[in-house]
Amino acid sequence: MSDAALVFGGGANFIGASFMCFRFGDTFVGIDWGGGYEKRAQDGPQYEGPLDHLLLTHGHFDHVGLVPKAARRWPNASIWATADTLALSTWLWNDSLYVAERQGRPMPFSSADIASAKERVSCVSYYQTLELGPDLMVTVYPAGHILGACSFKLTYKGVNYFVTGDISFTDRNITPGAPHLKLPHCAVLVRESTYLGKVTEMNRAETKNALLADITATLRKGGKVVIPALSIDRAQDTWAILHEAGLTKKWPVYMDGGYAVTRIYTERASNAFMLKHADRVRNEEMRYALRSSPRAMIVIASSGMLNENTPSYWWTGELLSDRKSLIAMVNYQHPDTPGGRLWAEREKNWVTFGDRLVENRAALKKYGLSAHMNHEEGDALEERMRPELIVYAHGEDDAITAYVTAAGSRPTRTKAQVGQEVLL
CB of 113 closer than 8 Å to CB of 72: yes
Residues sharing a CB contact under 8 Å with residue 9, sequence separation 6 or more, in sequence order: 17, 19, 20, 21, 45, 46, 47, 418, 419
H helix or E strand, kind and range, residue 329: strand 326-329
Q: What is the pLDDT of residue 184?
A: 74
Per-residue confidence band for 41, with pLDDT thresholds at 50, 70 and 90: low
- pLDDT 10s digits, 214-231: 999 999 999 999 999 999
- pLDDT 10s digits, 326-359: 999 999 888 889 999 999 999 999 998 988 899 9
Give me the chain's average pLDDT, please: 93
Q: Which amino acid is at 61?
A: F
Q: What is the pLDDT of residue 22?
A: 98
The whole-angstrom separation of Cα 27 and Cα 50 is: 9
DSSP character at residue 348? S
- pLDDT 10s digits, 13-22: 999 999 999 9
Percent of the chain with pLDDT over 70: 98
What is the CATH number that goes with domain 204-366?
3.40.50.10890
The whole-angstrom separation of Cα 287 and Cα 317 is: 13
89 pLDDT exceeds 60? yes
CB of 109 closer than 8 Å to CB of 97: yes
The whole-angstrom separation of Cα 15 and Cα 242 is: 29
Every domain of the chain and the residues it spans: 4-198+371-423, 204-366
In this structure, of 96-100, 153-157, 178-182, the range with the lowest mean pLDDT score is 96-100
Q: What is the mean pLDDT of residues 118-129?
A: 98
Strands (E), 164-221: 186-193
The whole-angstrom separation of Cα 191 and Cα 407 is: 15
Strands 253-256 and 279-280: parallel
CB of 394 closer than 8 Å to CB of 15: yes
Radius of gyration of the chain (CA): 21
Q: What is the pLDDT of residue 42?
A: 67
User: Minimal CA–CA distance to 232: which of 49, 65, 7, 12?
Assistant: 65
The whole-angstrom separation of Cα 141 and Cα 160 is: 14
Q: Which amino acid is at 346?
A: R
Classify domain 4-198+371-423 at the CATH topology level.
Metallo-beta-lactamase; Chain A (3.60.15)
CB of 65 closer than 8 Å to CB of 117: no
Per-residue confidence band for 40, with pLDDT thresholds at 50, 70 and 90: low
In this structure, of 220-224, 234-238, 278-282, 403-407, the range with the lowest mean pLDDT score is 403-407
- pLDDT 10s digits, 168-209: 999 999 999 999 998 878 999 999 999 998 887 789 999 999
The whole-angstrom separation of Cα 398 and Cα 414 is: 13
39 pLDDT exceeds 70? no
Strands (E), 111-181: 121-124, 129-133, 136-142, 150-156, 159-163
User: How many Cβ atoms from other residues are within 10 Å of residue 207's Cβ?
Assistant: 19
Per-residue confidence band for 273, with pLDDT thresholds at 50, 70 and 90: confident
Q: What is the pLDDT of residue 9?
A: 96
Residues sharing a CB contact under 8 Å with residue 6, sequence separation 6 or more, in sequence order: 20, 21, 22, 23, 188, 190, 391, 421, 422, 424
What is the full DSSP assignment across 269-302?
A: -TT-GGGGG-EE--SHHHHHHHHH--S-EEEEES
Cα 337 to Cα 190, 340, 380, distances in angstroms: 27, 5, 32
